[in-house]
Amino acid sequence: MPTLVAKHNYAQMTWPEIRDVAKEGRVVIVPIGTLEDHGPHLPIDTDCRIIEEICRRTCERIPERTVLLPTVTHGYSPHHGDFPGSINIGWDTFVRHLTDITGSLVQHGFERIILANGHGSNMPLVNMAARLTIVEHPEVRCCDYFYLYTPAAKDVIRSLRESEFPGGMAHACELETSIYLAVAPELVQMDKAEKDISAPQSDYFYMDWFDGPGSMMEYWSTLSRTGTMGDPTLATAEKGHTLLEAAVDELIMVVDEVKRREIRPRVDYH
């Protein structure tokens, strides 16, 4: 069906436009982040800024297939409370906040939704919200997404990575700092960037873009001296541009998968 409304920003549409866009079967992308400490060199909005940028660029590449919701700014990060800055939403409130958003979208006729997350500790909760959306609306397809996690994207990370493994790419690290440098270099204080891989060493629990097999989230001040986990001193804008491009390619692939996902009827075998 040809696109009737030449817009993809949800908040800038009128209600008749939203009605018409929903009928086009577009995929709604909901960027989700959090505000929390990202070392002494990055703004606390890093997770929001990065995922918003990836989602915005994706929608600009394929506006006729997408709708972009405003970013969900506040997420789940109580373990960061020892550092100034984090705004924490309780885990159950956060999950329900997300399912209230997806439920509203469903009410308006949207049937394909991506919850695009940029904050690690949101992951199980965003996943739960996506599951609940389908449980509560079986006719709808909703998934979670975290950037740069597909095998192709991880190959791109490997191709440019200079920091050590594990630990060099976890938080306010080579990866996140590079992307922020590509997006808004005037907000990155590289003179304050400091390598910090001070979490206890373990073969089972380690945080990295290539995570360890086990997971144990302790209070951040017991894992990091600076708020950073990784090596931001190796970050460059050039790496950031490459990573952003890979993330947009990845998300376009996910949009197309979600858009064409077959919805099979349920079968009751009682």
Q: Which chain residues interact with Zn ion by CB under 5 A?
A: 46-47
Query: What is the length of the chain?
Result: 270
Q: Which is nearer to Zn ion, 35 or 105 (CB)?
A: 35
Helix (H) or strand (E) segment spanning residue 60: helix 46-61
Residue 71 beta carbon to Zn ion: minimum distance, rounded to whole angstroms: 14
Residue whose CB is less far from Zn ion, 47 or 196: 47
Nearer to Zn ion, 86 or 102 (CB): 86
Q: How far apart are the C-alpha atoms of 166 and 33, rounded to whole Å?
A: 24
Phi-psi region of 230 (alpha: psi -120 to 50; beta: other; left: phi over 0): left
Angle, vertex CA 263, rays to CA 258 and CA 269, nearest 5: 140
> How far apart are CB 72 and Zn ion at their closest, in Å?
15
Looking at beta carbons only, is 30 or 51 nearer to Zn ion?
Answer: 51
Least separation in angstroms between CB 268 and Zn ion: 43
State which amino acid sits at residue 134: I
Nearer to Zn ion, 63 or 212 (CB): 212
Tokens standing for 86? 């984090």
Query: Which of 33, 26, 1 is closest to 108 using CA atoms?
Result: 26
Least distance (Å) between residue 176 CB and Zn ion: 5
Q: Which residue matches tokens 């996910």?
A: 254
Residue nearest to Zn ion (CB): 47
Handedness of CA 147, 152, 156, 158 (dihedral sign): positive
- Bridge partner residues of 67 (DSSP): 28
Beta strands 112-117 and 27-32 are: parallel
Choice between 21 and 183, CB closer to Zn ion: 183
| Beta-carbon count within 10 A of 201 CB | 10
**Closer to Zn ion by Cβ: residue 64 or 211:** 211
Closest contact distance (angstroms) between CB of 258 and Zn ion is 24
Least separation, in Å, of the C-beta of 36 and Zn ion?
7
Tell me how far, at minimum, the Cβ of 198 lies from Zn ion, in Å.
Answer: 17
Looking at the DSSP bridge assignments, the partners of residue 116 are 31, 145
